[in-house]
Amino acid sequence: MKIAIVGAGAIGGYVGAKLSLAGEDVTFIVRGANLEAIRRNGMKLILEDGSEHIADQVKATDNYRLAGRQDLVILALKAHQLESIADQLHHLLGPETAIVTMQNGIPYWYFYKHGGALEGSHLKMVDPTGEISEKIPASRVIGCVVYPASELIAPGVVRHFEGERFPLGELDGSSSERVTRISACFVNAGFKAPVLDDIRSEIWLKLWGNLSFNPISALTHSTLVDICQFPLSRELAAALMTEAQTIAHKLGISFRVPLDKRIAGAEKIGKHKTSMLKDVEAGRALEIDALVGSVIELARLTHTPTPHLDTVYALVKLLAKTFEEERGQVQLQRVA
Ligand SMILES: NC(=O)C1=CN([C@@H]2O[C@H](COP(=O)(O)OP(=O)(O)OC[C@H]3O[C@@H](n4cnc5c(N)ncnc54)[C@H](OP(=O)(O)O)[C@@H]3O)[C@@H](O)[C@H]2O)C=CC1
Ligand SMILES: CC(C)(CO)C(=O)C(=O)O
């Protein structure tokens, strides 16, 4: 399959390297030092067992037009980075090209083919200007939940920590020919890629952890096990998750795992820093609006009170604002 991966970071690098090693025709859409490194050496993948694999057949470019039409486009950017690529994406799209979205959080396409009173509603938190929905048509999208954890440790070098599951699903729940084909392609590359008839419920299950543990960890610099074992933060995580569950239930979502078990699962991961804490430490922009702001937007749409989510959202937004101002100061000092 001809596959473009937009964003060759932790997840894009991991997925693209494995697909290429399995014989797929992979092009990374990538920029900066990462582009140079992949062009020079391919994408190096370091697996959990320490083994190293070089995907040296991958192509890498920052030119969408040159990459050309694809069978499949995988969007592996952070949610707040989608707008920056939306304008260029059409170069990759032929009449049948499918798009797999690999962002954590509530996706911009959430209400497409959702049914009910909220069908077609637009979510400002993840698509502030409407440009993403306009230029990345939801009719092409296959939903996906990313369970693996990985990190781009240097340009062109990705380390995989754990997990291989990428559940997929059509937005209308059907088992179409295209989703079946993409699932088979993922399985052939060594991933688990079950086709689900309710991808939104799986998105909420993953998000349950992200909307609670990620902001708490970013605010307190604590790992998952620390948050889960300290009674007050465990209680706060449970309160955030309970509010989210009320919203989700109103939207027809069912959780296949009870709340206590979901917290126990996070606790078992141990001394692990969430991606939002890693972003804080690295001075990168935080995925707050996709993970928390969008849930609050859904709360407003479903008339659900969310005092805990509102409080945590306010605090983590302030944290991000302070960081942005500090970064601005540092840049100004460098210019001076
Ligand atoms: N990492 C993980 O273990 C997990 C991540 N996820 C989710 O997966 C998604 C991707 O996260 P992750 O891979 O960690 O993020 P990364 O930051 O590692 O990767 C994103 C990549 O996109 C690139 N990028 C951003 N904007 C552009 C652009 N305009 N053109 C080209 N490239 C661009 C970035 O490059 P540059 O550095 O040049 O900006 C970066 O390499 C997120 O939603 C995250 O929450 C989910 C589960 C686990
Ligand atoms: C580790 C985990 C599961 C925390 O919610 C995660 O998905 C993240 O760090 O973004």
User: Can you give the CATH number for the domain in which 219 is found?
Assistant: 1.10.1040.10
DSSP SS3 for 88: coil
Phi, psi (deg, nearest 5) at residue 25: -90, 95
Residue corresponding to tokens 């592996």: 76
- pLDDT greater than 70 at residue 37: yes
| Residue of the CA atom closest to atom 41 of ligand 1 | 9
Mean pLDDT of 198-209: 98
Residue 15 pLDDT? 98
Same domain, 226 and 101: no
Same domain, 190 and 231: no
Mean pLDDT of 37-45: 98
Mean pLDDT of 190-202: 98
**Which pLDDT tens digit goes with each residue over 147-164?**
999 999 999 999 999 999
Domain range for 219 is: 200-333
Pocket test for ligand 2, best of 104, 165, 214 (most atoms within 8 A of CB): 214
- Give the Cα separation of 289 and 280 in Å (integer): 15
Same domain, 184 and 327: no
- Computed over every residue of the chain, the mean pLDDT equals 96
78 lines ligand 2 (CB under 6 A): no
Residue 323 pLDDT? 86
Residue 336 pLDDT? 55
> Sorting pLDDT into bands at 50, 70 and 90, what band is 335?
low
Last residue of a domain, one of 143, 168, 197: 197
210 lines ligand 2 (CB under 6 A): yes
- Two tokens at 56? 């040296």
Count of domains observed in the chain: 2
Cβ–Cβ under 8 Å, residues 140 and 98: yes
What's CA 75's distance to the chain center, in Å?
Answer: 9
Residue 334 pLDDT? 63
Same domain, 102 and 177: yes
Last residue of a domain, one of 179, 197, 215: 197
- pLDDT greater than 90 at residue 305: yes
Same domain, 116 and 80: yes
Core vs surface per residue 31-57: b (16+ CB within 10 A) or e: eeebbebbeeebbbbbeeeeeebbbee
Alpha carbon of 147 to ligand 1 centroid (Å): 15
Same domain, 131 and 12: yes
Residue 324 pLDDT? 84
Alpha carbon of 288 to ligand 2 centroid (Å): 13
Same domain, 126 and 261: no
Mean pLDDT of 57-77: 98
| Residue of the CA atom closest to atom 1 of ligand 2 | 274
Same domain, 234 and 112: no
> Sorting pLDDT into bands at 50, 70 and 90, what band is 330?
low
Same domain, 134 and 262: no
Same domain, 233 and 181: no
Q: How many Cβ atoms sit within 10 Å of the Cβ of residue 94? A: 10
**Which pLDDT tens digit goes with each residue over 110-149?**
999 999 999 999 999 999 999 999 999 999 999 999 999 9
> Sorting pLDDT into bands at 50, 70 and 90, what band is 326?
confident
Same domain, 262 and 188: no
Alpha carbon of 206 to ligand 2 centroid (Å): 8
DSSP, res 190 = T
Question: What are the DSSP calls for 282-311, one per residue?
Answer: HTPPP-HIIIIIHHHHHHHHTT---HHHHH
Residue 233 pLDDT? 98
Report which bound ligand comes closest to the CA of 79: 1
DSSP SS3 for 323: helix
Cβ–Cβ under 8 Å, residues 222 and 233: yes
Last residue of a domain, one of 134, 166, 197: 197
| Residue of the CA atom closest to atom 2 of ligand 2 | 274
Cβ–Cβ under 8 Å, residues 94 and 67: no
Residue 331 pLDDT? 63
* Backbone CA torsion sign across 189, 191, 197, 202: negative
Burial class (CB in 10 A: 0-12, 13-18, 19+), 237: buried
222 lines ligand 2 (CB under 6 A): no
Alpha carbon of 336 to ligand 1 centroid (Å): 31
Long-range contacts, stretch 118-125, CB < 8 angstroms, 24+ apart = 118/251, 118/301, 121/301, 123/294, 123/297, 123/298, 124/297, 125/289, 125/290, 125/293, 125/294, 125/296, 125/297
Same domain, 269 and 310: yes
DSSP, res 194 = P
Phi, psi (deg, nearest 5) at residue 273: -85, 135
- Considering just the CA atoms, what is the radius of gyration of the chain in Å? 19
Please list the active-site residues.
206
Q: What percent of the chain has pLDDT over 90?
A: 96
Of 152, 159, 129, give the one whose Cα is nearest residue 284. 152
Mean pLDDT of 59-63: 98
* Backbone CA torsion sign across 17, 18, 23, 26: negative
Mean pLDDT of 93-120: 97
Report which bound ligand comes closest to the CA of 274: 2
Alpha carbon of 304 to ligand 1 centroid (Å): 31
CATH number, domain containing residue 86: 3.40.50.720
Pocket test for ligand 2, best of 165, 207, 212, 213 (most atoms within 8 A of CB): 213
